[in-house]
Every structure is written in structure tokens, then in C-alpha cells.
Amino acid sequence: MKKLLRLSLFSTLLVALFGCKHLEKLDSSQSRLPERPNILWIVAEDLSPIIPPYGDHTVETPYLSRLAEEAVRYTNVFSTSGVCAPSRAAIATGMYQNRIGAQHMRTTSVIDEGPKGLVPYEAVPPPHMKMQSQYFREAGYYTTNNAKEDYQFRKPATAWDDSSPKAHWRNRDHGQPFFAVFNLGITHESQVWRQADNPSLVSKDLDVPVPPYLPSTDIALDDIRQVYSNIVSMDKQVGTILNQLEEDGLVEDTIIFFYSDHGGPLPRQKRLLYDSGIQVPLIIRFPNKWRAGEADDQLISFVDFKSTTLSLAGIRPPSYSDGRAFLGKFVETPPRNYIHAAADRFDNEYDTIRAVRDSRFKYLRNYNLDKAYYLPLPYREQMPIMQELLRLNEQGKLNPIQEQWFRQQKPLEELFDVENDPHELQNLAEDPAYSDKLNELRTELDSWLSGFEDLGFKPEEELIKKLWPEGIQPITKAPSMFLKNGEVQISSDTPGANIAFQVIPLGGALEDNWRVYTGPFKLRPANRLIAVAHRIGYLPSDQVEFVKD
């Protein structure tokens, strides 16, 4: 009994010691940050962790490599989908895309890219959901986005000070803290074929790694080399942004994020829930090179980005977020045990898949068992390596690993040991040795899906009617404005409506930039007050004018 008591006390001491050290680290992270740090996001497209900071030295990336030397490399970071628009919706809202109706690729342009008969529509998050940039604006930050949006809904006027190809922190008032996003499109899937006629930034004989599920023909190698050439180009763009930050003397006042919007651009990467489709690099440089050179292997999901970025700026994250803050003043413990991901419609093809992953194993549940793994997408088939795969498959010249993607049916469940099988080629779901892990991840997926209504399981026509009654987009109710105690108050009867306004002299013209209404304010005589209300997913209201006598 005494021995058990001693062991118990020792265990308690270890837990207390670990907890204290952990809290020390969290407290240290906050004390080492500026009170109101600038936040800079540099976002690549369609990029797996195939850059030197993550061990792939096929090409040199001097700017990213230097950034990583001064930063923390996060090694287990995952998008919530293998394609951009659903993933970007999750980042902007802090909510899983299949919870808010943003799970299908490009809901706002289905006429061009989706099945016939669908109308374009917007995701409709719950009332009071605000884009993370709006929280920064309300806290006095200057917010910019250059320039891709793709949120699955129209941004409200309250979202950004500037979202355009000219957006830059340099346009802010002197001394104002900023949250700036730069989106770099050169690594996008389309650039594999669109850059093919331009001079390559790599040798035509460059030795490139070829994933086992892709062929090694000359055509395939050329496309893979183009991927690396685009990475070299992207690194130069990163360098331009970092050099501007240095020129402005802002490096040590800024927290710098580098990440990509989902995994790689090649066949059997983009759109899929294998790690090749959802695992991304994430490099975060803190002021004064705090934790420089460290690798952090905690599990991180895109739904964590909103809470974490706000937390780093000392802004309390909203309670509705599906994510957790893994850094900053409002860091949440303990770390994640799992990340979750979803696949739904891609262009004109539906293939519902849900996934859960821990630090070593990935579990996939397929809902369309009669569908082939490979689904024809005209956009992807512009890529020569995709055309090569199709040609070799038709001729029966693919090896057994490469043939896997062309199987005509899927099992209900798949389980992969991603540590020993990083390309996820050996399904362990029916191996009795892994039954405990299978049950664990199956249960975790059920638990995740039971936490909200997964809108990916609704036929898309029904989904549109759920989001927009009878398929008609609701309109945000126009704002009401009135004077009380000498101050103007603005409100809208639509729950969750964001209100933007401008104050302009009589006879003055309306500007592009709108201010965010956060509370009553005084209005000088001979000024016009113009206001608009907009709940995300709804149409914005008409503009309303108020003039003080």
C-alpha cells in the first residue's frame, strides 16, 4: 500500500512538474510578444511540405529557409479539405466547412464548374459569426488581403480595410498595427501547365522525387520539375514581402506565418484526404527569433488558425469556433489528439468522404462505395501528367501501386499507418492487429460528426433550400439609425448582421473603404452618415443615409 502511495505521489509530482513547465512555456510566449503585434500571413497555394525546411532539398528556397531558421516549424498541420474554397472558408470562419454549408467546391460559381441545374449560392454560417479580419478591425488593426478570397460567401464590407491586388500594410496610418494576408498563386495546380512555356527556374535534368503512385515517364517528370520550378518562383515572392517588412523596420514587431491552403497540386494529391492532399507546411516566426529553429509536432487544424491568430494579438477568440488557440494569451490546453477532414463535391463530381487522423494513423470512411477512386475532372485533366496517367492506365502499363487510384469501388473503411506508410497505400482496416486503433478512430469520427449537422450529407439542392428558404437568398434588413444622448446608434433587425458605415461631408462622394460599427458615436453637423448591414450568406441591405441637422 505504501509503495502504491509513493508511486501515486511520484506520478502526481510528474504531472505537476510537466504542467508547470508547460504553463511556463505558455506564459513565456505571451511575455515575449509585443502587446499589439502585427500579424503577417504569407499563403502559398497547393503546396505539400516539399520544401527544404521540411527535408526536401530538391531545390533551394533561400528566403523560406532563412525564415524557418528564425522560426518554429510545425510538422503536423492539416487543412480541413483537399481543395481551396472549403479550406479557406474554414480558416476565415474558424468553423468546419461541412457545418456551415461551405463543403462543396466553389458554391458561388456552380454554373461554370458544378452539376447542371444548380444555382450559385453562399454558405450561411450561424448568426454572429464574423470573419477573423473583422475582429482585428474592431480592435484597431489595419487589415488587408492581397488578393484571393474564395470564402464560399461574399465578404461583408466590414471584413477588410482593403482586399485587392494593391492591398498592403504600407497603406495604413503610421503606427497602426496590421493584419495582412498575401496569397501567392504561383504554386497553384493550374500553374503546372500554364507555366510550361515559360523559362524554367530548374534544370531540365533536375533529379526530382516521384511519389510511388505517379509514373516516371518524361512527361510526368517534366510536370514534377515544373512544381519545383514554381516553388523557386514562390520563394522569390516570399523574399519580396520579407524584404519590404525589413525595409520598414517591422520584423521584430511582427508575427510571420507561412503556410499553404492545402496539399500538393498533382494527381492523387489535390482534392483527396490523403496526407498528400491535406498536410501543409506551417512556419511561424516570432519577434526576436523566439523558439528559433524548433520543430513542434502538435496536431493543428485549419479551424485553429482563427482562434490562434486572435489570441496572439491579445483578442479573445469567439466561443463558437470549432478550433482551439495553440498560441498566445488565450491558449487552450491540452493539445489536440485528432484532426478531422471532409471531402464532398469537386466541380461536377460528388464523393463524400470523412477522415480523422491522430499523430500516426489515418482513418477514412467512404460514403459512395460504388464510385471509383479516380473521378474525371476536366480542369485537372489539362495537366499533362494526368493525361499521361490516363493513357498508361488505358494501355495497362501502370504498376500495381499506380493502379490503386483507378480502382472502380471503395471499401467502407480505410486505415493507414502514415508513419510507416506515408503515401497511404496499404489499407489496414481488415488487419486484426489494428482492430483497436480502427475502433478508436471510428469512434472518434462518430463523435465528431455527432457534434453538428453535417451538411455534406444533404443533396445539394436540399442544402440550398435549407440555407436559403425556397432557394431564395435572404436579404439583410436595412440598418436603423437614430440619435440618443447626442450620439448616433445603428442597428439591424437581422440577427448577426455586420454594420458598416461612412461619414462624408455633404456633397462628398462615397469611398471604397467602410468603417466597422462597434458602438454609438458623435456625428458632426453637415455630415452624411451612410450605413449598410450584411449578415454573411445573405444579400447586403440597401444603403441608408442619415444627416444631422
Is 84 noted as a catalytic residue in this protein?
Answer: yes
Helix axes 218-247, 384-394, angle to 10 degrees: 160
Q: Rounded to an integer, what distance in angstroms lies between the CA atom of residue 127 and that of residue 121?
A: 17
Range 258-276 burial, b when 16+ CB lie within 10 A, else e: bbbbbbbbbbbbbbbbbbb
Q: How crowded is the C-beta side of 293, counted as CA atoms within 13 Å?
A: 0
Q: Rounded to an integer, what distance in angstroms lies between the CA atom of residue 516 and that of residue 113?
A: 34
Q: Rounded to an integer, what distance in angstroms lies between the CA atom of residue 359 and that of residue 427?
A: 17
Q: How crowded is the C-beta side of 433, counted as CA atoms within 13 Å?
A: 4
Q: Rounded to an integer, what distance in angstroms lies between the CA atom of residue 74 and that of residue 68?
A: 10
Are 233 and 47 a contacting pair, CB within 8 Å? Answer: no
Active-site entry in 59, 84, 242, 266: 84
| Dihedral sign, Cα of residue 233, residue 239, residue 241, residue 247 | negative
Q: Rounded to an integer, what distance in angstroms lies between the CA atom of residue 486 and that of residue 4?
A: 71
C-alpha cell at 44: 502559398
C-alpha cell at 398: 501502370
- Please name every residue paired with 340 in a beta bridge, in sequence order, or none if there are none: 356
| DSSP at 469 | G
Q: Rounded to an integer, what distance in angstroms lies between the CA atom of residue 275 and that of residue 417?
A: 11
Residue numbers annotated as active site: 84
